[in-house]
Amino acid sequence: MRIASIGTAYPPNRYPQAVITEALKERMQDKLAMPDIMDRLHRNCGVDYRHIMFPLDTLGTLSGFGPTNDAWIKGAVDLGQKAIQKALDQCGLEPADISAIFFTSVTGIACPSIDARLVNLMKFPQNIKRTPIFGLGCVAGAAGISRAADYVRAYPKQYAILLSVELCSLTWQEDDASMAAIVASGLFGDGAAAVIMAGEETPHGSRPTSVDDPCPRIVATKSTFYPNTEHLMGWNINQSGFNIVLSAEVPDLVTSELRSTVEDFLDENDMHMGQICSFIMHSGGPKVLQAMEQSLTLPPGALSASWNSLRQRGNLSSASVLTVMQDFLYNRPGSPGCYSMMGAMGPAFCSELLLLQW
């Protein structure tokens, strides 16, 4: 099983963080007891730029769950198609070559699901297997690759696609001036990523990896659920849409739990930390990345790709770790034979880890 290619797509509206902050302050000025708090919180998010689905001058033109979710459906189909086409083009495949599609998002819902709409639009096979996933949040990028890997492990002659689309800006609630909501409005951005998984008996899965054609092999995966932590992250869903639940306890849990989770995973595969050449981690935010660095005792710069993704795009929820993986795949692959650890954490609270070999 190999990661054959990754394609990404972003809305055309890209703004500096300070510009987004000023626009939100103007919209929420009568609801913010201390507007300077938004300035400070947004500066501390570690984000320089973000893509958002609609131009800033349209803020406030959508209200209520229905119209906002309709906009999400339209945007998800558009960005999803672009990301998938880029992933297909990268490895010379056509929609007809794909046997299964996994779709994940936590910023909108649809029935028929987004993957079904894309099957019609892109002419995927009529017998394609579809698995839409909702509710995993930030962990879903890594978990989605794991589930797609499970599929091609069972069907080694086939290809599968994971598509993640997150339009976080459509969940911003102007009536919610809580600290969690203000942080979220400064941290999360919009984007899509598609990953093509190749079974071992496909042309892409059977050829050896090389410096010129790096396609990391998925050696093993691990899902971990941390009991009684549901309160740390998620949504409260009501008639206005999605209201963020984001606890300040998240970095503490990462610090206390991630090391043992990683070491247990490596023990299961008769490996140790010293054998991992790189860590490909979800860009959860400065405090989460710092907690990962502390927990794993990583050297300076070890998570530079994750920090860069955060600066350039913000936290894209499930798509974030996929953009970091794309950076490694095309710009900083490991040398043939070395190992990488890919990982993300999200609502429940839970983690998903993948052991990759280049």
Under a CB-based contact definition with an 8 Å cutoff, are residues 282 and 319 in contact? no
**Which token pair is 340?**
């990488």
Helix (H/G/I), strand (E/B), else coil: 11: coil
Cβ neighbour number for residue 171 with a 10 Å cutoff: 23
64-to-30, 57, 237 alpha-carbon distances in Å: 20, 18, 11
138 among known catalytic residues: yes
**Catalytically annotated residue among 138, 168, 215, 350:** 138
CB-count exposure of residue 335 (10 Å: 0-12, 13-18, 19+): exposed
Angle, CA 189 vertex, CA 284 and CA 225 arms, to 5°: 35
Under a CB-based contact definition with an 8 Å cutoff, are residues 102 and 143 in contact? no
Sign of CA dihedral 137, 138, 141, 142: negative
Q: Using CA atoms, how far apart are residues 205 and 344, in angstroms rounded to an integer?
A: 24
What positions carry a catalytic annotation?
138
